[in-house]
Chains A and B, each alone.
Chain A
Amino acid sequence: MKVELDADKCVASGQCVLAAMDVFDQDDDGIAILLEEQVGDDRLDDVKEAVVVCPAAAIRLVEQ
């Protein structure tokens, strides 16, 4: 599945990094960065967790 990140909405909480460290990082201002756009089934659970815990609802998973 494809991960979409709306950096304009990001509030720099870093919750996504805690949920899926190999998919998300933060820049120096704390704004989330996508490390992987495509995630396989093995990473799906962690990314879904990130979607739910993101306090800005800035992350979406899109079926392809």
Chain B
Amino acid sequence: MRRIVVVGASAAGLAAAETLRREAYEGIITLVGDEPLAPYDRPPLSKQILAAEWEPERLALRTPDTLAALDLDLRLGVTATGLEPADRTIELADGSAVPYDGLVIATGVRPRRLPGEGAHVLRTLDDALTLREQLTPGRRLVVVGAGFLGAEVAAVAWRLGCEVTLLEPAPVPLAHAVGMEVGKVLTNAHLERGVDLRCGVTVTEVTEDGVRLADGSEIEADEVLVAIGSLPNTDWLAGSSLTVGDGVVCDEYCKAGPNVYAAGDVAHWYNPLFGTSMRIEHRTTAAEQGMAAARNLLHPEAGKPFAPVPYFWSDQYDMKIQAYGYLRDHAEVALVEGDLAERKFVAAYRTGDRVTGALAVGMPPKAIRQWRQAIATGAAWHDTVSTAVPAMES
């Protein structure tokens, strides 16, 4: 292969490019990114950057020297607009076309929005810096969506002295992922600090004065952040003959088509460890999948299924939340260590007869690692979770 094009210059794309070089690929690597910045890290945007604890320079994923050593054909600030599979060519917004022999698609996601103008979203460094300027003491901030992003922003804004209202359609934050009992722990963390978390509330639009709810009432705000999830960036693949559903559909090798692989937030691949297709928007999965896609592209004859245990963390107030596995659509949750009320615990999640997830708050790493191991080995629930452990209402 003379040229490999990686579309997307964030965590997954960078990991793919780096891995190609590590695997001694000596051809041209074209790395295309729609933002003008060199690859940077996103998780701190809703944490240290928003809190003004870090300046943007700290986000750089690699030093300029390390990046230069990769000898990339770097095309930053350019969006990919089309893929012509017959000619094996990528079309870019600047009118140029880049031929490829191998392709890694890592175009990520964009925030879902609500009807109406003037609301913030939080995906890019620009988004974070724009919001950060507004988070001054006494400002009224409405956050729509109490997922991890919304909850992190609420926590930072509260710490900065804002009056925060957090609106969530589900009965507790992240109900479908973490379950009711853990969701209540998250709820209490907001309420006891005076963050006005309102669950069971659906927002229909952003207005001039704030947001309008499904019942027609309005909540006034100085600033609104919409954090209601993301949409995969696949529009540019229309007409490409790749299968696009909720993301770029791939097999267990992250392969989407002939010599075409996908990685990161945009990839919807079959994870054989859980026996299901998934699209994961976690930082660690992005890097791991970038590596896996690059290796499988270079060595298809020795291809390895990508079967990770997904991992994410979230910092909310004084809580560090860590989760392993696939919690979504679980059948049962059990408290396996610690105490919910003290916010020091490990909860295990069952799907079928297997341990498929674990979520920990305020626990030492060794307490969590054994649960990761149980998920990685597909441990049977009844062998791993003692029957003495109280099941929680899910």
B63 / chain A contacts, CB cutoff of 8 Å: 60
Q: Smallest Cβ distance from B112 to chain A, in angstroms?
A: 24
Shortest Cβ-Cβ A-B pairs, 10 listed = A26-B365, A55-B283, A30-B365, A28-B364, A55-B284, A57-B61, A53-B287, A14-B365, A52-B15, A52-B287
A sample of 23 cross-chain residue pairs with beta-carbon separation below 8 angstroms, ordered by A number, consists of: A12-B313, A12-B320, A12-B322, A13-B313, A15-B311, A26-B366, A29-B364, A30-B320, A30-B322, A48-B22, A49-B291, A52-B18, A52-B19, A52-B287, A52-B290, A53-B287, A53-B288, A53-B291, A54-B287, A55-B287, A55-B313, A56-B41, A57-B62
Q: Smallest Cβ distance from B364 to chain A, in angstroms?
A: 5
Question: Is B2 an interface residue, CB under 8 A from the partner?
Answer: no
Q: Smallest Cβ distance from A20 to chain B, in angstroms?
A: 15
Asked if B43 and A11 sit within 8 Å, CB to CB, the answer is yes
Write the chain A residue with the least CB distance to B63. Answer: A60
Chain A residues packing against B (C-beta within 8 Å): 9, 11-15, 17, 26, 28-30, 48-49, 52-57, 60
Q: Smallest Cβ distance from A52 to chain B, in angstroms?
A: 5
Q: Smallest Cβ distance from B149 to chain A, in angstroms?
A: 16
Kindly state the interface size class of chain B when it binds its partner. 20 to 34
A60 / chain B contacts, CB cutoff of 8 Å: 63, 66
Near A by CB (< 8 A), chain B positions 195-247 give none
Given B19, B41, B311, B368, which contacts A57 in the complex, CB threshold below 8 Å?
B41
Chain B residues packing against A (C-beta within 8 Å): 11, 15, 18-19, 22, 41, 43, 58, 60-63, 66, 283-284, 287-288, 290-291, 311, 313, 320, 322, 364-366, 368-369
Q: Provide the bound-state CA to CA distance between A54 and B283, in Å.
A: 9
B66 / chain A contacts, CB cutoff of 8 Å: 60
Q: Provide the bound-state CA to CA distance between A16 and B61, in Å.
A: 16
Q: Provide the bound-state CA to CA distance between A56 and B61, in Å.
A: 8
A30 / chain B contacts, CB cutoff of 8 Å: 320, 322, 364-365
B41 / chain A contacts, CB cutoff of 8 Å: 55-57
B320 / chain A contacts, CB cutoff of 8 Å: 12, 30
Write the chain A residue with the least CB distance to B19. Answer: A52
Write the chain A residue with the least CB distance to B59. Answer: A57
Given B11, B19, B22, B284, which contacts A13 in the complex, CB threshold below 8 Å?
B284
B15 / chain A contacts, CB cutoff of 8 Å: 52
Asked if A11 and B313 sit within 8 Å, CB to CB, the answer is yes
B11 / chain A contacts, CB cutoff of 8 Å: 55
Write the chain A residue with the least CB distance to B41. Answer: A57
A11 / chain B contacts, CB cutoff of 8 Å: 43, 313
Q: Smallest Cβ distance from B361 to chain A, in angstroms?
A: 12
Write the chain A residue with the least CB distance to B283. Answer: A55
Asked if B18 and A15 sit within 8 Å, CB to CB, the answer is no
A53 / chain B contacts, CB cutoff of 8 Å: 284, 287-288, 291
Given A9, A17, A28, A48, which contacts B58 in the complex, CB threshold below 8 Å?
A9
Q: Smallest Cβ distance from B378 to chain A, in angstroms?
A: 17
A54 / chain B contacts, CB cutoff of 8 Å: 287
Q: Provide the bound-state CA to CA distance between A17 and B364, in Å.
A: 14
Q: Provide the bound-state CA to CA distance between A52 and B288, in Å.
A: 8
Q: Interface centre among B18, B19, B290, B364, by most A CB within 10 Å?
A: B364
Q: Provide the bound-state CA to CA distance between A47 and B170, in Å.
A: 42
A15 / chain B contacts, CB cutoff of 8 Å: 284, 311
B322 / chain A contacts, CB cutoff of 8 Å: 12-13, 30
Q: Smallest Cβ distance from B40 to chain A, in angstroms?
A: 9
Q: Provide the bound-state CA to CA distance between A58 and B291, in Å.
A: 18
Write the chain B residue with the least CB distance to A15. Answer: B284
Q: Provide the bound-state CA to CA distance between A59 and B60, in Å.
A: 13
B22 / chain A contacts, CB cutoff of 8 Å: 48
Q: Provide the bound-state CA to CA distance between A12 and B315, in Å.
A: 11
Q: Smallest Cβ distance from A27 to chain B, in angstroms?
A: 8
Q: Smallest Cβ distance from A49 to chain B, in angstroms?
A: 8
Asked if B291 and A52 sit within 8 Å, CB to CB, the answer is yes
Write the chain A residue with the least CB distance to B66. Answer: A60
A28 / chain B contacts, CB cutoff of 8 Å: 364-365
Q: Smallest Cβ distance from B51 to chain A, in angstroms?
A: 14
Given A14, A26, A29, A55, which contacts B43 in the complex, CB threshold below 8 Å?
A55
B364 / chain A contacts, CB cutoff of 8 Å: 28-30
Q: Interface centre among A9, A29, A57, by most B CB within 10 Å?
A: A57
